[in-house]
Each structure stands twice: as C-alpha cells, then as structure tokens.
C-alpha cells in the first residue's frame, strides 16, 4: 500500500471524472448524426442527452452519500464500471430504434453520478494531514479537468460525427477510456483512511425515505424542464415541475425537521427500539453550517443550467443558422470551455482574501450577465459576427463562471468533515 503514489492515483481519477461532463458536451455536437442514423427528429434525439442528465442530476446526492458510507474508492470503481459497460452497449446497439440508446444513456447517467462525489471525497481525504499543503493544487487540477473537458467534448463530438460510424466512434472512445481507468485504479487506488465519523455511518442507517423522495422529485423537476423546451402551456411540462418541487420540499422537511428533532423529543427511548433514532440524516447539520450554503445550492444550479443552455444555443446557432460543420461549430463554441479552464489555472487562494470573497461572487454574476448580453448580439447577417460577439464573450463568460466555482469548491471542501465529503 505504501508504494502506491497518491498523485498518480489522483491523476488517473481526474481522467475518469472528465467523462461526466464529456458525455454532456459531446452529445450536443453529435445530435445531428443521431438524428440521421436513427431517422428521428431533434426532440426525440435530444433525449440521448436529457436521459443522461436526468439520472445524473437525480442520483448524484444519493451516490455521494453512499460513497461516504462504503468508501469513495469502491463507489468510484463501480461508477466507472457502469460507464464503460454502457458505452460498449451504446456503441453496439442497432439503428432500429433510438429508445434503447436513450435507456442505456440514462443508466450511464447513474454511473456518472458516482464519479464527481467520489473524486471530491478522495481529494479531501488524500490531501489532508501532512499533504494538506497540496489541497489547493488538487482543487485547481480538478477544476481544470472538469472545465476544459467541455471544449474537448464538443470538439470530440464534432470530429466523431463526421467519421463513417459517427456517434458510435465516440462511444468506442469513452468505452476504452473508462475501461483503462477502471482497470488501472482497480490495482492502484488507495482506500481512504476511516475516521471516527466514517465508523458511525452504515447502509442500514441511510435515510432511504428521503433519498427516494429526492430522486423522484429531482427526476420530475428535470423532466418538467426538459418538456418545457417544447412549450410551457402543456400539462406534461408544468405538472412534473410542480409535483417534483413539492416532493423535494417534503423530503427536506421530513429529513431536516422531523427526523432531526425526533431524537431530541424522545431522548428517553432506547435507540434500538425506534428506527427514527438510528437514521443518518440525508442533509447532516454539518453541511447546513457551511458558509453561504444556500447561495451555493441556488447558484450552482443556475450556473450549470445556464452553461448548458449557452452551449446548446451556440451549437444550434452555428450549426443550424450559419450551417457550419459539426467540427467548426465545436471550435466556435470551445472558447467557453477554455475560459472556464483559464479561470481555474490563474485563480489563487489569496484572491479570496484580497478582493473579499463575497464581492467576488458579485463580480462573477456581473461578468457572466454582461457577457451573455454581449453574446446575444450574434447575428448571421453581421460580418465577422463570431469575432465581434462570440469569441471573447464566450471566453469571458467561462472565466466569470469559474470564478464562482473556485470559491465554492474551496469553501465546501474546507468546511465539510472528511466523512461527509461525498
């Protein structure tokens, strides 16, 4: 065990976690190829992306909790296994119907949901104690990997779409990458050292009621938002959204109020006599105490949503309006990802102290808002529209977005106990 190099293990884990965002970005530029291969329309083909995002977003909280309980190293390897198995299946599926592809992409999203929480937990545990001085470098490396892959994914999707086998080439690529990382880490990964906090967690005490409600609620919310793209007058868009939000609120109230206060009101009871006294909260008090946690939850959701909307809108404009090829389209949208990566590369912890962290949040919001307005000026009839309104605005938007995520990541890692990092 002592011979295993934590930096090598972490580096391979970073390569594997890039599959999360790569599988989002690449499908955006592969969509036209999917429509042609399966002889379907854009609304149906878009579910190859939506199905993946649906399960990734719904299960990420639960897989993170499971990573805390059984170990992030184990959950990470399982997640990678699901990734390469589903990529292989997606590459081999016949073109008779797109439905099986959507189903296996949804299963792939469950695997993807385990990667980022596990890597966050591995990072915090690996770079603690004597290696704490390397934590900021590890955070920067993670952010660079997660952000630069957006541009790389767009370009890969565009490049593979013009090959003879199209989207299948992409799935063969992700199959190979995930399998290589999984095999390497199976032999090299270093299990995290158990703390007293880890020992208090077990699968029997997991709050399965709140976990199930959160999964169902988030699934319905994402389904509603996805259907909303076709119009908000339809009940199939509004109903899932309303019901989903209600179910998530019920889960929060049940977990954070009822179950949290139950032991205080029944302190005279034997713990073994009542399951409500044995439950580990899905939303532990330690997490609620993180500075600006409400801001982080709201802003993370909005930044991720806006990021995907900007990428999809830009791809649709350059491909459908300007009639660029998929690879040229990907190159034109790639400044966004490079801006994200640039922000991760140049950020330093002293910036938070010198410029006041709360003000940096405001600067991030102002910069992203301003550059979105700038980007909205693109027009197919304007000469050099990309250079005037696309290139710089997308790059600066990415930088402004990453400014928020640098602060968010550092605070969350610093203020979260090691046994709750997932």
pLDDT in tens, 93-117: 999 999 999 999 999 999 999 999 9
Question: Could you give the percent of the chain with pLDDT greater than 90?
Answer: 54
156 contacts 150 by C-beta, under 8 angstroms: no
Task: Report whether pLDDT(273) > 50.
Answer: yes
Among candidate residues 30, 167, 156, the one with its CA nearest the CA of residue 95: 167
**What is the fold, at CATH topology level, of the domain defined by 6-206+280-420?**
Growth Hormone; Chain: A; (1.20.1250)
Number of other residues whose CB lies within 10 A of the CB of residue 193: 11
Which pLDDT belongs to residue 93? 95
The per-residue pLDDT for range 30-80, each reduced to its tens digit, is 999 999 999 998 888 888 988 898 899 889 888 998 998 899 999 999 999
pLDDT for res 73: 96
Rg (alpha carbons) of the chain, rounded to whole number: 22
Instruction: Return the domain boundaries, the chain.
Output: 6-206+280-420, 207-279
Q: CA-CA distance, 80 to 118, in Å (whole number)?
A: 11
pLDDT band for position 8 (50/70/90)?
Answer: very high
Q: According to the per-residue pLDDT averaged within each range, which of 175-179, 224-228, 358-362 is highest?
A: 175-179
Res 409: pLDDT? 87
The average confidence (pLDDT) of the chain is 89
Burial 252-282 (b: 16+ CB within 10 A, else e): bebbbeebbeeeeeeeeeeeeeeeeeebbbb
> CA 33, CA 273: separation in Å to the nearest integer?
59
Amino acid 331: pLDDT: 94
What confidence tens digit (pLDDT) does each residue in 388-415 have? 999 999 999 999 999 999 888 888 888 8
pLDDT-based confidence at 246, cuts 50/70/90?
very high
Mean pLDDT comparison of 22-31, 133-142, 175-184, 250-259, highest-scoring range = 175-184
Q: How confident is the model at residue 422 (pLDDT cuts 50, 70, 90)?
A: confident
CA–CA gap between residue 411 and residue 290 (Å, rounded): 8
Mean pLDDT of 208-234: 81
Which one is predicted more confidently, 349 or 325?
A: 325
| 229 pLDDT tier (thresholds 50, 70, 90) | low
Write the CA distances from 44 to 31, 49, 238, integer angstroms. Answer: 10, 10, 19
């Amino acid at each position: 065990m002592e011979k295993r190099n934590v930096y090598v293990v972490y580096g391979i884990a970073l390569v594997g976690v890039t599959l999360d965002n790569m599988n989002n970005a690449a499908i955006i530029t592969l969509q036209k190829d999917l429509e042609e291969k399966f002889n379907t329309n854009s609304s149906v083909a878009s579910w190859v992306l939506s199905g993946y995002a649906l399960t990734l977003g719904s299960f990420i909280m639960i897989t993170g909790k499971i990573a805390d309980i059984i170990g992030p190293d184990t959950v990470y390897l399982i997640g990678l296994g699901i990734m390469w198995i589903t990529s292989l299946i997606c590459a081999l599926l016949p073109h008779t119907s797109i439905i099986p592809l959507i189903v296996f992409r949804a299963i792939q999203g469950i695997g993807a949901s385990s990667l980022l929480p596990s890597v966050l937990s591995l990072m915090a545990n690996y770079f603690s104690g004597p290696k704490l001085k390397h934590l900021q470098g590890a955070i920067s490396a993670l952010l660079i990997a997660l952000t630069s892959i957006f541009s790389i994914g767009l370009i890969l999707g565009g490049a593979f779409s013009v090959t003879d086998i199209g989207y299948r080439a992409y799935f063969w690529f992700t199959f190979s990458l995930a399998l290589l990382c999984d095999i390497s880490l199976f032999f090299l990964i270093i299990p995290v050292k158990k703390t007293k906090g880890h020992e208090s967690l077990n699968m029997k005490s997991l709050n399965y009621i709140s976990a199930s409600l959160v999964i169902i609620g988030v699934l319905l919310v994402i389904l509603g938002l996805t259907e909303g793209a076709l119009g908000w007058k339809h009940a199939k868009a509004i109903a899932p959204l309303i019901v989903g939000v209600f179910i998530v609120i019920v889960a929060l109230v049940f977990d954070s109020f009822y179950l949290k206060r139950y032991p205080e009101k029944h302190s005279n009871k034997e713990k073994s006599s009542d399951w409500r006294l044995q439950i580990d909260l899905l939303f532990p008090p330690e997490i609620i105490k993180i500075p600006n946690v409400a801001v982080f939850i709201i802003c993370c959701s909005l930044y991720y949503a806006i990021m995907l909307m900007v990428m999809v809108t830009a791809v649709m404009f350059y491909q459908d309006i300007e009639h660029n090829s998929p690879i040229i389209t990907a190159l034109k949208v790639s400044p966004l990802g490079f801006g994200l990566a640039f922000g991760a590369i140049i950020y330093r912890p002293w910036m938070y102290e010198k410029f006041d962290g709360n003000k940096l949040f405001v600067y991030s919001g102002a910069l992203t808002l301003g550059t979105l307005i700038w980007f909205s000026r693109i027009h197919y009839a304007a000469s050099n529209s990309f250079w005037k309104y696309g290139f710089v605005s997308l790059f600066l938007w990415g930088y402004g977005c990453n400014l928020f995520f640098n602060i968010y990541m550092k605070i969350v890692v610093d203020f979260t106990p090691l046994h709750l990092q997932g």
